Amino acid sequence: MLDRKRITTGQALLAVGLVALGLVIGWLTAGDGGESTDGNGGANVGPSDSVKGIPVGYERSREGAAAAALNYGTVLARPEFVTDPRRRAEILEVIATPAEARRYEEEDRVASLASLAQTPVYRATREGEPSVWQTTPLGYRVERYNRDDAQLFVWSAAITGASEAPPRASFGSGSVALRWEGDDWKFAGDIGRTEDGPTPALAEGAPASSSNEYRARLRGLQGLRYVP
């Protein structure tokens, strides 16, 4: 849940795009203690189609749930999800349960997102100005899986910055949920609050880079996408 009183760019990015930040790497079958997959062991898990530019159509299996979480999360983590209410509603209509989509219509959440959209990083991306917008997963734990529901705990990092806001790293952790509705997996929201950390310190003698150095050295860097 976004907290209007103590919201930061990194925290909000982690909260809104937690699925993407936590499920980009790994295999859901590794050491989770849950049920075995009921699909094809990761083969052809999806997506099988695209709706309004969003990949949909996933296998009803552990691997299919992970693939859905990954691809839906990349959409949730896009700046336009925060800055463009019309696109946000369109995204939620495709990927979220109706109950989760309605949560984004609540007054406090709408106000929090509108306030966040005015912060330097989101303003820079909206106006096409130079900015830094990178996310990366650090680890996850499958807390529950069955044919109807999946719940995962994730630890993630986000690096954001703009000319008015030098790049900063934020670390966050929390649990997210998916639910099988109709004929596909749907994003069912975060469970509890997304929390700061755990946060490591920089290695000794490793000074932070300036915004110019960061942009110059990483210009053209492509993001990574993996399907379990």
CB 190 within 8 A of CB 175: yes
Top-confidence residue, 32 or 72: 72
Band (88; pLDDT cuts 50, 70, 90): very high
- Which one is predicted more confidently, 8 or 210? 210
Contacts of 164 (CB under 8 A, 6+ apart): 120, 124
Confidence class for position 223, pLDDT limits 50, 70, 90: low
How far, in Å, CA of 84 to CA of 103, rounded?
A: 16
Please tell me the least confidently modeled range out of 14-23, 58-67, 68-77.
Answer: 14-23
Instruction: Supply the pLDDT for residue 77.
Output: 73
The pTM of the full predicted model, rounded to 2 decimals, is: 0.70
Quick one: which of 17, 11, 12 has its CA closest to 197? 11
CA distance 156 to 11: 11
pLDDT tens string 167-181: 888 888 877 799 999
Q: How confident is the model at residue 33 (pLDDT cuts 50, 70, 90)?
A: very low
Residue 18: which H helix or E strand, with range?
helix 18-22
| Chain center to CA of 138 | 13
Average pLDDT over residues 136-161: 81
> H-type helices in 118-182, by residue range?
120-126
